[in-house]
Amino acid sequence: MKNPTDCRIDLDTLPGISKIVCLDEAASTQAVARELAVEGTAERTLVIAEMQTEGHGRLGREWESAPGGLYLTLLLKPETGLKYLPDLSILSGEAVAETITNLYGIKTRIKKPNDVFAFAPRRKKWLKVCGVITESSSINRAPSWLLLGVGVNLNNVIKLDTAVSVKTILGKEVSREEFLKEFLQAFWLRYSSWEYASQAKSSN
């Protein structure tokens, strides 16, 4: 992990975040957040890196993490059972898809369990624009912490022909700060409903 950099994102503008850690470079935001979770760092801590050198997705698949993309991990401590955790990847992907469509008018769809695809008009294809990954540690069948990792292709250059960035589709750069704020607003609405519903199911 590189030393924390001066964060260009104002914590006060991010809904639901208690602490933010900004890095110029990291092997992965998941690895940094895992260290913080083990140390007992506060819930709703957000780790963001300008780039990742060892970013990966589900099943260890490599995730390109060039500068310009949004690479983050959110440290959560949900009060729910382990069997409900897989739903978190889907609802997170839904929040990303909603944000991309609302902000930029881009058509999106979810590929379960953890990918978001965007329609690229010039290529007339659906291409991957976001990946989600979750990781958890549990005690007595309840999660003691959960890491939600999200990688979104915003302004980064994509080498893979199966993926695309928002910048490529629109032909212009977009604000990562604006995207992050809108995403968190959409995410917390889904997260609170999911946590409440899973608690209700567990008590029945």
Break the chain down into helix, strand, coil percent, rounded to 5: 35, 30, 35
Does residue 4 lie within any of the structural domains? no
Range of the domain at 165: 11-203
Per-residue pLDDT averaged across 129-139, rounded?
Answer: 88
Q: Return d(Cα 111, Cα 109) in angstroms, integer.
A: 7
Does residue 100 lie within any of the structural domains? yes
Does residue 3 lie within any of the structural domains? no
- pLDDT, one tens digit per residue, over 32-60 is 999 999 999 999 999 999 998 876 555 45
Q: Return d(Cα 49, Cα 36) in angstroms, integer.
A: 15
Which CATH number covers residue 125?
3.30.930.10
* Helices assigned H by DSSP within 41-148: 86-104
- pLDDT, one tens digit per residue, over 113-124 is 889 999 999 999
Does residue 6 lie within any of the structural domains? no
Does residue 2 lie within any of the structural domains? no
Does residue 158 lie within any of the structural domains? yes
Does residue 68 lie within any of the structural domains? yes
Q: Return d(Cα 27, Cα 39) in angstroms, integer.
A: 19
Q: What is the pLDDT of residue 139?
A: 66
pLDDT at 85 over 90: no
Burial (CB count within 10 angstroms: exposed 0-12, middle 13-18, buried 19+), residue 44: middle
Q: How many domains does the chain have?
A: 1
